[in-house]
Amino acid sequence: MIVAEMDEATGLEKRVSADSCLMRLPRLHGKHLLTIEAPERLLDTGPIREAFLRERASQCGVCSPGMVLSSYIHMKNRLPMSQDEIRRSLSGNLCRCTGYQSILDAVISLDRSPELKAGREEPLDFPQVEKRMHVFVQGDNAYLLPLTLEDLYAARKKYPGARIASGFTGSCVDYKGTVIDISRVRELLQVHVSDSGISIGAGCSFETMKGQMAQHFPYMTPYLDSFASLQVRNQASIGGNIADGSPVGDTMPLCLAHDAVCVVCGPRGTRRIKAGLFTTGYRKVALRSDEVLLAVEFPFPADGTYHFAHKQSRRKNMDISSVSFAASVRVEGKTCSSVRLAYGGMAAVPARALHTERFLKGKVFSRANCQKASACLEKDFSPISDVRGSAAYRMDVAKNMLILLYESYNGEHDGR
C-alpha cells in the first residue's frame, strides 16, 4: 500500500510504500492510505498495469498489487530506472510465478511512457488535523500519538505500562496493549550536521538515515540497503533498532565502529552514553524506565580513516543477519594507527573484537596481517548455533569479513 502525507518541511505531498501488516490504523491519522483499488484520478497505475500485461509479468496475480504499487512509487518519486534501483523498490514483494525478469522488463518499458510522466493525478485533499497529541481509545487500550517530548513524558506518566513504538515494525503484529507511538515526536526526527559530526534523531527511518549518511559515509548505503525492504525501511527507525538491544540489529555495529554516542532523554534530563555501553545484555539496554533514545551522534573520523560494513544473511533482502560487521581503520603510511572492528551475531550483544583490534594496531594493513588477525577472533567470540547459522559457520564468516575489509580497502571488493 501507499501512505501519502504532507511534508511539513517542503509543503509538498509525499508518497511512500508501506506494509499494511505493520501499520496500525491510528498511525494514519491525518494521512492518506492509497491501495490498488484507489480511483485512477488519485492513483494512476493504469500504464503500469498495462505494461505488466504486455510483458506477461503476472500469472496468479497474488503479488501483482504490491509489485504494481512499488513500481508506481518508483516512477512517482522519479528514482533511477536502472535494474538495481528498480529491484531495490520491488524488494519486499515476492513473486513465485512469473519470476522477476518480466516484472523488471515491464517497469523498464515505462521509462518511455508519456502518460506516466504527464502527472495526471489530482492533488490529495489532506484533512486539517489539530496540532496536539491525539489519543484513540478502544476498550481497555489506548493508542497515543504525542507530538513533543513533553507530550511523550505526560503520556508515559498516565500509561506507565504502555509500549513505546517508533516504527512499530518490531512488535506491531502481536502486541495487544496500550501504545505510545513516538513516530511524530518532532525532537526525535531532527538531523544536525556540525563540524564534528552528524546527529540522527532516533525516530528517523532507515531511508532517512541512508539519505543523510550518503553524503558523509557513502560506504553505509549498500549496508543500509540490505536492511529488510524499502517498505520496512520507510517505517523502521534507527532508534527502534538500537533500543531493541538485539544481538543481530544492523545499526549497532555501525555505531560501535564509529564510536558513536547514544543521547537519551527523560523528564529528569539528557544523558550521553557511548554506544559501547548502551547494550548491556541480551535485549537489554541502558535506558531507565522513563527515558527514550533521542538521537545517535556519529563523529566525523580523522583523515585517513577507512570504513567498511557488510551483512551476511541467508537471503540478500528481507532477512536478519547471521553475522554483521562494521570497521573503521585509520591507516597512516601503511600502518594501522587505529582499529575498531564491530560484529553483530557473534555474542549476546553486538560487540567489538578487542583482541583482534589489538593485534592489527601498529601493524602494516595487509592481507597477510588480516589473515593472521582473524585467528584472534577465536579469543574474542564464542558464537552460538541457531537457525541463522552454526557456531563454526559464524566464526568462518567473521574471519572472512576481515579479509573482505582488506580487499575493499585495496579496491578488490565493493562491500556488497
| Binding stretches for ligand FAD (CB under 6 A) | 163-171, 182, 188, 202, 227-228, 232, 236-237, 239-241, 243-244, 249-250, 287, 292-293, 318, 320
Q: Which does 244 bind (CB under 5 to 8 A by kind): ligand FAD, ligand FES, none?
A: ligand FAD
Beta carbons within 8 Å of 338's beta carbon, 6+ residues apart = 302, 305, 328, 329, 330, 361
Hey, what's the cell of 252? 549497532
Q: Which does 62 bind (CB under 5 to 8 A by kind): ligand FAD, ligand FES, none?
A: ligand FES
Q: Which does 96 bind (CB under 5 to 8 A by kind): ligand FAD, ligand FES, none?
A: ligand FES
Ramachandran sector of residue 168 (left: φ over 0; alpha: ψ -120 to 50; beta: rest): left
Closest to ligand FES by CB, 63 vs 188, is: 63
User: 200 near 212, Cβ under 8 Å?
Assistant: yes
Closest to ligand FAD by CB, 99 vs 177, is: 177
Quote the least distance from Cβ 187 to ligand FES, whole Å. 43
Selected range binding ligand FES among 44-52, 55-63, 159-167, 357-365, rule: CB under 6 A: 55-63
Q: Which does 318 bind (CB under 5 to 8 A by kind): ligand FAD, ligand FES, none?
A: ligand FAD
Q: Which does 168 bind (CB under 5 to 8 A by kind): ligand FES, ligand FAD, none?
A: ligand FAD
The string of DSSP codes covering 223-261 is: HHHTSS-HHHHTT-BHHHHHHTT-TT-SHHHHHHHTT-E
Give CA–CA dist 123/234, Å, rounded.
Answer: 22
81 burial level (CB within 10 Å; 0-12, 13-18, 19+): middle
User: 135 near 154, Cβ under 8 Å?
Assistant: no
Task: Please report where in the chains the cell 541467508 appears, as a residue.
Answer: 314
Q: Which does 320 bind (CB under 5 to 8 A by kind): ligand FES, ligand FAD, none?
A: ligand FAD
Closest to ligand FES by CB, 98 vs 324, is: 98
Residue 98 in contact with ligand FES, rule: CB under 6 A: yes
Closest to ligand FAD by CB, 149 vs 402, is: 149
User: 243 near 293, Cβ under 8 Å?
Assistant: yes
Q: Which does 59 bind (CB under 5 to 8 A by kind): ligand FAD, ligand FES, none?
A: ligand FES
Closest to ligand FAD by CB, 47 vs 389, is: 389
Tally helices (H) and strands (E) across the chain.
Answer: 16, 18
Give CA–CA dist 144/180, Å, rounded.
Answer: 5
Query: What is Dmax (Cα atoms) for the chain?
Result: 67
Quote the least distance from Cβ 93 to ligand FES, whole Å. 8
Closest to ligand FAD by CB, 163 vs 363, is: 163
Closest to ligand FAD by CB, 81 vs 263, is: 263
Residue 176 in contact with ligand FES, rule: CB under 6 A: no
User: 286 near 349, Cβ under 8 Å?
Assistant: no
Closest to ligand FAD by CB, 247 vs 276, is: 247
Terminal alpha carbon distance of the chain: 29
Q: Which does 25 bind (CB under 5 to 8 A by kind): ligand FAD, ligand FES, none?
A: none
Hey, what's the cell of 217? 559515509
Which of the residues 58 through 77 are near ligand FES (CB under 6 A)? 58-64
Quote the least distance from Cβ 61 to ligand FES, whole Å. 5
Beta strand 179-181 with 141-145: parallel, antiparallel or unpaired? parallel
Residue 97 in contact with ligand FES, rule: CB under 6 A: yes
Angle (CA) 370-297-196 rounded to 5° is 85
Hey, what's the cell of 178? 496500550
> Which residues would be at the binding site for ligand FES (CB under 6 A)?
58-64, 95-98
